[in-house]
Structure 1
Amino acid sequence: MRALADARTYVVLATVQADGSPRMTVLWVDRDEDELLLSTARGRAKERDIARDPRVGLMFLDQDDPYSYVEVRGTATLTEQGGRELIDRLSLKYTGDIYRWDDPGEVRLVIRVVADRVLTVG
């Protein structure tokens, strides 16, 4: 998981919608030790889902071997602290430039995921 999180691996974040169905989103990922860091903006569906039900799943697909993956099940928290810095750090990692696509005044959030279970396949 650490190696995939440190690389430019895209992850799929699964959250639980209000009706109990899953919502899946492709995101950039970073980490702080064993905690996974994702970014979203205030008011997006991911924020609403996590605020209501913090259970999440993440899937890392190894770009070199699509039959190898890491599944993380865990609990997410949301904070504004470090939100702008995280999206810029992620954008540098994935695109080589700082993030320039937010609307004026948009507030960035950090989604911090603590793993309850990590499953490695392949």
Structure 2
Amino acid sequence: MAEKIEGRAREILEAANICIVASIEKDGVPFTAPVWVDMDGDHVTVNTAEGRHWMENVRRDKRVRLLILNMENPYEYVTIKATLAEDTQEGADDHINAMAKKYLGQDEYPFRQPGEQRVIFKFAPERVHLNAAG
């Protein structure tokens, strides 16, 4: 069952904070990757490039854990148990440019590689926990 992300937890996700995506390798070992994060309605969104290792893990096993640290106080963080709800290339180029504006203050994503295909993953949160210590 989906859980809404509200209040301070949503503020942390909507700010320019880094998200660690924990996916599951074929052998069951966790794999982690740092990504930019955003919200789209009730979904947590990340943008990545085709071919990245962690995204192949998520396509195989849609379950993830997300850890979003408040960069101003890393003892304040949000953890989310989530499932991949959507995997799309539609709008991914515009989305990564919006993320570049949020995280870098630049209108266009500056790290694009020749031939790179961007992808948006939308995750449905199942359990959300805010650690407000600090």
TM-score (ref. length: structure 2): 0.85
Aligned length: 122
Contiguous gaps of at least 5 residues in structure 2: 1-8
- Could you tell which deviates more after superposition, 40-49 or 61-70? 61-70
Distance in 1 separating the partners of 2:76 and 2:20: 14
Contact 2:64–2:81 (CA<8 Å) still a contact in 1?
Answer: yes
- CA RMSD in angstroms comes to 1.2
Q: Which residue of 1 aligns with 2:57?
A: 49
Deviation at 1:69, TM superposition (A): 1.3
1:23 lines up with 2:31 in the alignment: yes
* Equivalent AA in structure 1 for residue 97 of structure 2: D
The within-5 A match list for 1:1-122 is: 1-76=9-84, 77-97=86-106, 98-122=108-132
Distance in 2 separating the partners of 1:8 and 1:30: 9
Distance in 1 separating the partners of 2:51 and 2:75: 35
TM-score (ref. length: structure 1): 0.93
Contact 2:18–2:35 (CA<8 Å) still a contact in 1?
Answer: yes
Identity of aligned residues (%): 32
